[in-house]
Amino acid sequence: MIKKLVSYVAEFKKDAILTPIFVALEAVMETIIPLLMAWIIDNGVGKGNMKYVCVVGAAMLAVAFISLTCGVLSGKYSASASSGFARNLRRAMYYNIQNYSFSNIDKYSTAGLITRLTTDVTNVQNAFQMVIRMFVRAPFMLVFAMGMSFYINAKLSLVFLGAIVFLGIILYFIMTRVHPYFMQVFKKYDDLNASVQENLTAIRTVKAYVREEHEINKFYKASETLYKYFIRAEKLIIINAPAMQFAVYTCILLLSWLGAKMIVSKTMTTGELMSMFAYTTNILISLMIISMVFVMVIMSKASAERIVEVLEEKSDLQSPENPICEVKDGAITFKNVNFSYSKSLDKCVLEDVNIKINSGETIGIIGGTGSAKSTLVQLIPRLYDTTSGSVEVGGIDVKNYDIETLRDEVSMVLQKNVLFSGTIKENLRWGNKNASDEELIAACKQAQADEFIENFPDKYDTFIEQGGSNVSGGQKQRLCIARALLKKPKILILDDSTSAVDTKTDALIRKAFKETIPDTTKIIIAQRISSVQDADRIIVLNDGKIDGFGTHDELLKSNNIYIEVYESQVKGADNNESK
């Protein structure tokens, strides 16, 4: 895991190495200052030597200045290294997520991915910055200050050793207890983000159902649990502070008492005792920093694991080694296809599907909700792979195509389609980024969208809000159809894409298809018989199995499900008319 993460710092190797060097220099300079002070007191002030005071005083100033410069430089380099590291991590994660297949996406929640891209990366970034600055500085300072104090007075320095052992035990106790809480905290973060994301993206539904109170409670609960876990972790961490205080004051007391005795017995000078006090703070502060860095590292370990998981997730749909980059025609064949979302054959959503569709045919698909209509067509542009059996397009197994080529030739209007924030033109050009204005208009005419677009004050430059919230459901569907048409595909799939469009417009769209794209294979999933009855053939799906496949007239004679649906819709319409 560390190796994987380190590879993202490579670009900032120089900064990452310079930081600890400057930090170490800064620490050395800082520890020299108390020694110089001892000299001034003992040799200068003690002996009334003003010149000595001035010279060593100037040296002290110089050392302080170098220390300051090193501090500034280390800050600069550490900031650059850690933010660069975070940038690279985010880029790599984002890039990898774009390659995820539908089934990879099913595995992570959107909220979980967002937490990983934001909070988790920030945690790792902070920990990294702490590590390169403090993890070098603190042990370095500790060792250096210990060395200096042993140099000044070895006996007295034993007091420090006692303090280190005491604090070490306390730290170990805190570390082992705190880690499990932090592991929990990040899981709770996901829940919190999921709650926020769900609420904010569906805020209109929340309002329509007057569920604000419920949603507030849900959020309150999620943030309350997070708060509780943080408090528990922090409660343990703050034990650090009194332990630290205790160690500092005990050291000072012992040093004063033992030091005074030594001064009286002339085994130590006043200046030496003064610098010993300065080293007390140095040593104990280093210990505290080491403990804080440990906490950060432990906290970020959980985050780092979650990041690496995203980075290492391999898309389970890869283009083959020598992909075919041309789709001959729009013929489609399903051979003994079984499909299950969980990849286990005993829970199949599609069972033993065998169909052959000729290029240029118009095929309707009808079936109850959950009968696997969407699942069936998602296999054609290889949004999912079959669990067993094969799907062929243009006579060749979809697994042999270059995925991009295949998806360009098989254009699909998804059931849950979305528009992105941007103008209508920008949205349409998702279909074909080089499309001319004339092509855009032609596609919109086929999708019966031209008329309402022309009625907008800004026409094709009308701005679409996020998720297409400022156009009606039917208008959105027609824009999505136009967008799919712009690909000029060999196969066009409409998954319930005219459900919000009135029957007259729906018929006009089908008429336009017949006239303008006769060679394109068209697959139309619909709930209304009227949307599919003039198709060349119609597939009736029932619970993941093909129940019937034929023309409207054939099915009316032989297929019970089709007859039932037809009668309920036609009779329903008759009843409405007779009212």
Ligand X SMILES: Nc1ncnc2c1ncn2[C@@H]1O[C@H](COP(=O)(O)OP(=O)(O)OP(=O)(O)O)[C@@H](O)[C@H]1O
**Interface positions with Mg ion (CB under 5 A):** 374, 415
For ligand X, give the closer residue by CB, 425 or 545: 545
Question: Which positions from 414 to 433 touch ligand X by CB under 6 A, shown as an x/- string?
Answer: -x------------------
Q: For the CA atoms of the chain, what is the radius of gyration?
A: 36
Binder of residue 372, out of Mg ion, ligand X, none (CB less than 5 to 8 A by kind): ligand X
Tell me the angle at which helices 503-516 and 437-446 cross, rounded to the nearest 10 degrees.
Answer: 120
Q: Considering only the stretches 14-22, 146-154, 159-167, 370-378, report the one whose residues sit in contact with ligand X under the rule CB under 6 A.
A: 370-378
Q: At closest approach, how far in Å is the CB of 541 from ligand X?
A: 7
Among residues 34, 112, 259, 367, the one that binds ligand X under rule CB under 6 A: 367
Strand partners, 397: 392
C-alpha to C-alpha distance for 47 and 34, rounded to whole angstroms: 19
3-class SS string, 406-443: HHHHEEEECCCCCCCCEEHHHHHCCCCCCCCHHHHHHH
Q: Report the amino acid identity of residue 67.
A: S
Q: Is 286 in the site for ligand X (CB under 6 A)?
A: no
Binder of residue 218, out of Mg ion, ligand X, none (CB less than 5 to 8 A by kind): none
DSSP classification of residue 239: T
How many residues in the chain? 579
The residue assigned the tokens 């018989």 is 529
For ligand X, give the closer residue by CB, 373 or 399: 373
C-alpha to C-alpha distance for 489 and 478, rounded to whole angstroms: 17
Q: Which of residues 50-69 bind ligand X (CB under 6 A)?
A: none
Q: Which of 334, 362, 412 lies closest to 532, judged by CA?
A: 362
Strand partners, 337: 353
- Binding footprint of ligand X, residue count (CB under 6 A): 13
Q: At closest approach, how far in Å is the CB of 542 from Mg ion?
A: 14
Q: At closest approach, how far in Å is the CB of 384 from ligand X?
A: 8
Q: At closest approach, how far in Å is the CB of 375 from ligand X?
A: 3
Question: Which positions from 202 to 231 touch ligand X by CB under 6 A, shown as an x/- string?
Answer: ------------------------------
CA atoms within 13 A on the CB side of 210: 0
For ligand X, give the closer residue by CB, 223 or 415: 415
Q: Considering only the stretches 142-150, 156-164, 368-376, 545-553, report the one whose residues sit in contact with ligand X under the rule CB under 6 A.
A: 368-376
CA atoms 491, 496, 497, 498: torsion sign: positive
CB atoms within 10 A of CB 564: 10
Q: Is 477 in the site for ligand X (CB under 6 A)?
A: no
Among residues 133, 137, 188, 373, the one that binds ligand X under rule CB under 6 A: 373
For ligand X, give the closer residue by CB, 147 or 370: 370
CA atoms within 13 A on the CB side of 49: 14
Q: Is 344 in the site for ligand X (CB under 6 A)?
A: no
Q: Which of residues 178-197 bind ligand X (CB under 6 A)?
A: none
Q: Considering only the stretches 184-192, 366-374, 472-480, 558-566, report the one whose residues sit in contact with ligand X under the rule CB under 6 A.
A: 366-374
Q: Which of 355, 349, 374, 362 lies closest to 527, judged by CA?
A: 374
Q: At closest approach, how far in Å is the CB of 548 from ligand X?
A: 15
Binder of residue 119, out of ligand X, Mg ion, none (CB less than 5 to 8 A by kind): none
Q: Which residue is nearest to Mg ion (CB)?
A: 374
Tell me the angle at which helices 13-39 and 50-98 cross, rounded to the nearest 10 degrees.
Answer: 160
Binder of residue 390, out of Mg ion, ligand X, none (CB less than 5 to 8 A by kind): none
Among residues 147, 168, 242, 370, the one that binds ligand X under rule CB under 6 A: 370
Q: Is 349 in the site for ligand X (CB under 6 A)?
A: yes
C-alpha to C-alpha distance for 576 and 579, rounded to whole angstroms: 5
C-alpha to C-alpha distance for 493 and 1, rounded to whole angstroms: 43
Binder of residue 125, out of ligand X, Mg ion, none (CB less than 5 to 8 A by kind): none
The residue assigned the tokens 């329903």 is 572
Among residues 106, 312, 326, 451, the one that binds ligand X under rule CB under 6 A: 106
Q: At closest approach, how far in Å is the CB of 551 from ligand X?
A: 22
Q: At closest approach, how far in Å is the CB of 373 from Mg ion?
A: 5
Q: Considering only the stretches 211-219, 371-379, 456-464, 566-574, report the one whose residues sit in contact with ligand X under the rule CB under 6 A.
A: 371-379
For ligand X, give the closer residue by CB, 104 or 470: 104
Q: Which of 390, 140, 393 lies closest to 282, judged by CA?
A: 140
Strand partners, 350: 339
CA atoms within 13 A on the CB side of 209: 9
Q: At closest approach, how far in Å is the CB of 122 from Mg ion?
A: 38
Q: Which of 1, 20, 12 lies closest to 83, judged by CA?
A: 12
Residues of this chain that bind ligand X (CB under 6 A): 106, 341, 349, 367, 369-375, 415, 496
